[in-house]
A and B are shown apart, each in its own frame.
Chain A
Amino acid sequence: MRRLLETCERLAREVLDRFPEDPPRLGRTLLVASGYGDDTELRVEWSNGLRQRVSLDIWDARRLRHPPEMDQFRERLLSCYVELMQAHVDALRRRRARENGETPAPDAIVRTLGVRFDRDLVAILGDAYLGSVGTGPAAEATGGLTIDAILEQVRAAEAYMRPSRNMTASELRAREAEYFRSVQERLARGEDSVEFRYLGGYRWAERDWRRERDARDEAERRNHYRARAEAEHRGLALLREWLTPEQRAQYDAHRWFEVRGSHSGKTYRIRHGEVQNVFALDGEGREAQGWCFGPAGGLVAGDVMLAQKLALETDEKDALAVANQFFTAEMVTMFTERPERSDRSWRFMGIPVHFSARVRAAFARPAPAWANAVGASCEQHFGNSRGG
């Protein structure tokens, strides 16, 4: 703490010594996200005094109610204060450099300060919230200032920003335009935070800026969806070019088509979709096993289905080597419902399955309620997961 205060003193002296012609009133307002769904403003001002220059917006002061955190908070606040003063010194240096026709160094401090203080503020304050203006802790937090003094500062600042009378419509428009220009300039410079609080009744600029931003976002969304739709159309056109007439007829009728594996000779059904859409059929044409694979890169459905078809028809082994298996709805049903066959013999992927006497006895009993419930939910899940 002592070191911080000494640094403050040193920087203050440096500013006054090196730039005596600059106005003594310096300060900066940071708008930081508080985590409460609203922006919190931290105003750090610097004038002729030193230790009383750090002030908090009254909204922050109301949230400070944990005395053990006060020292920590004050220290961090002073740390921010030192950085801001350093930023002032740098700003003055840059101004002097510009006046001398030199190229000033870029401002690197203030851009990161808002982010850092945001993290510190949230970490310290947590979810503490004092509904009314406190007394002791808030006063402690501001280095000896009382709540009355803070309120006085806020009132003074508001009086400074607000005119004593209502502005005329033309004055209001001029003020809006001026503020809007300043906001645009700050955004163009890439500053992280833009202060709107003291716009007071002149929030039109903020509203227009938000409207413009929303319109720009909406245009970007529309362009994205339009491009995606065109890509989908091109992908499906390419797929149809490469399907056989039978496959094309199947796809037109069912939104799936069947291919024959190049190595096993098995029949696979490729449903419209991008994931979990390839099924190996058993001898009865049921979707007995699911295979999930596709081309890398998040391509559109038409390209994915064509890549799956070509891979299975020309190099089935390699395709299945990278594929992941998943249960089909038919498989889940098979193991959760009582079989209807009289001989209790089953074939799985074409292979006869012989159940032991114990399993046959289990099948002879009615399936428990939970099993049917599991079967229904799985069927619903896998049914929904299919494309189209």
Chain B
Amino acid sequence: MATQIVMDHSGDTRHSFDPQDAAAIAQAEKRFMELTGAGFMAYKRTGDGQGEVLRGFDASAEETVFRPRLVGG
């Protein structure tokens, strides 16, 4: 199962989907597009503690985290 993790006020919200299920993948891609369109940045987990920016939807990513856009403090 692949997971999309979205940072929010509750800590995070996780959406799991089966990468073998075409319908689930379509839904995950739609979620990816909506979040990145809203300013979220997506990162794919590549190793232990390492992340990589995702510019487009990657169905093979096992774990993707979405963070809101950055602002100065």
A residues at B contact (CB < 8 Å)? 227, 230-235, 237-238, 242-245, 247-248, 275-276, 292-300, 302-303, 306-307, 310-311, 313-315, 318-319, 322-324
Contacts and interface: CB of A to CB of B under 8 A. Distances in A.
B70 interface: yes
A324 B72 CA distance: 6
Contacts of A237: 11
A138 to B, nearest CB: 55
Nearest to B50: A244
Contacts of B51: 242, 310, 313-314
B71 interface: yes
Given A242-B45, A242-B65, A245-B48, A318 B70 contact: yes
B69 A303 contact: no
A324 B24 CA distance: 41
Interface of B: 5, 7-12, 39, 41, 43, 45, 48-53, 65, 67-73
A315 B11 CA distance: 23
Contacts of B43: 310, 314
A303 B7 contact: yes
Contact of B9 (A238, A242, A298, A306): A298
A240 to B, nearest CB: 10
Contacts of B67: 295, 303, 306-307, 310-311
A378 B46 CA distance: 41
B44 to A, nearest CB: 10
Contacts of A234: 10-12
27 contacts: A230-B11, A234-B11, A238-B5, A238-B12, A238-B65, A242-B65, A244-B48, A248-B49, A292-B72, A293-B71, A293-B72, A295-B68, A295-B69, A295-B70, A296-B70, A297-B9, A306-B7, A306-B65, A306-B67, A307-B7, A310-B65, A311-B70, A313-B51, A314-B43, A314-B53, A322-B72, A323-B70
